[in-house]
Amino acid sequence: MQHDAVLAETIGIRGHGNDEIEAYTARPMDGRPRGGVIVIHHMPGYDAATKEITRRFATMGHHAICPNLYTREAPGAAPDDAAATARAQGGVPDERFVGDAAGAARWLRSLPTSNGRVGAIGFCSGGRQAVLAGIEVDLQAAIDCYGAFVVGAPPEGFPLRVSPFGHRIPELRAPLLGLFGNEDAHPSPDQVDELEKLLREAGKTYEFHRYDDAGHAFFSVDRPSYRQAAAVDGWERIRDFLARHLGA
Amino acid sequence: MCTYSTEKRALTKSSGKGPDGWFPLETATVYYDHPVHAPDEHTVNIDFLNPGRGPGARVAVELSLDSAKELLAALAVTVERAADH
Q: How confident is the model at residue A238 (pLDDT cuts 50, 70, 90)?
A: very high
ipTM score above 0.90: no
Instruction: Report yes or no on A1 lying in a domain.
Output: no
Q: Which residues pair with A153 in a beta bridge?
A: none
The sign of the dihedral angle between the CA atoms of A52, A29, A240, A43 is: positive
The C-alpha of A114 sits at a distance from chain B's nearest C-alpha, in angstroms, of 32
A186·B34 Cβ contact <8 A:
no
- The distance of Cα A236 from the centroid of its chain, to the nearest Å, equals 16
Q: How far apart are CA B42 and CA B28, in angstroms?
A: 19
* Structural domain boundaries, residue A155: 6-246
Confidence of residue A2 (pLDDT cuts 50, 70, 90): confident
Q: Where are the beta strands (DSSP E) in B19-77?
A: 21-33, 43-49, 58-63
Contact A216 B2 (CB under 8 A): yes
For residue A21, list its beta bridge partners: A13
B12-28 pLDDT, tens digit per residue, is: 999 999 988 999 999 99
CB contact under 8 A, B3 and A225: no
| pLDDT score of A88 | 87
The residue of A22, A81, A162, A218 whose CB has the most chain B CBs within 10 angstroms, and thus the best one to mutate to test that interface, is A81
Closest CA to A170 of A199, A136, A149: A199
Domain coverage including residue B78? 7-82
Judge whether A194 lies within some domain: yes
On whether residue B15 sits in a domain, the answer given is: yes
A73: phi then psi, degrees, rounded to nearest 5: -70, -35
Split into its structural domains, chain B has a count of 1
Classify residue B21: in a domain, yes or no: yes
- The pLDDT tens digits of the residues spanning A33-49 come to 999 999 999 988 899 99
**A55 within some domain:** yes
**What pLDDT is recorded for position B61?**
97
The answer to the question of residue B2 being in a domain is no
pTM score, whole prediction: 0.89
Dihedral sign of CA atoms B64, B66, B70, B72 in order: positive
User: Domain for residue B65, yes or no?
Assistant: yes
Q: Do B34 and A84 touch (CB under 8 A)?
A: no
Hey, are the CB atoms on B58 and A85 less than 8 Å from each other?
yes
In a domain, A167, yes or no: yes
Q: How close B35 comes to chain A (CA, Å)?
A: 9
CATH number for the domain that contains residue A156: 3.40.50.1820
| Average pLDDT rounded to a whole number, residues A133-155 | 94
- Report whether pLDDT(B2) > 60: no
- In total, the C-beta contacts within 8 angstroms joining chain A to chain B are 85
Query: Would residue B70 count as lying in a domain?
Result: yes
Residues 6 or more apart whose CB falls under 8 angstroms from that of A234 comprise A145, A179, A209, A211, A218, A219
Tell me, yes or no, whether B51 lies in a domain: yes
In chain A, how many domains are there? 1
The alpha carbon of residue B54 is apart from the nearest alpha carbon of chain A, in Å, by 7
| Order of strands, sheet of B43-49, starting from the edge strand that comes earlier in the sequence | B7-18, B21-33, B43-49, B58-63
CA terminus-to-terminus distance, chain A: 19
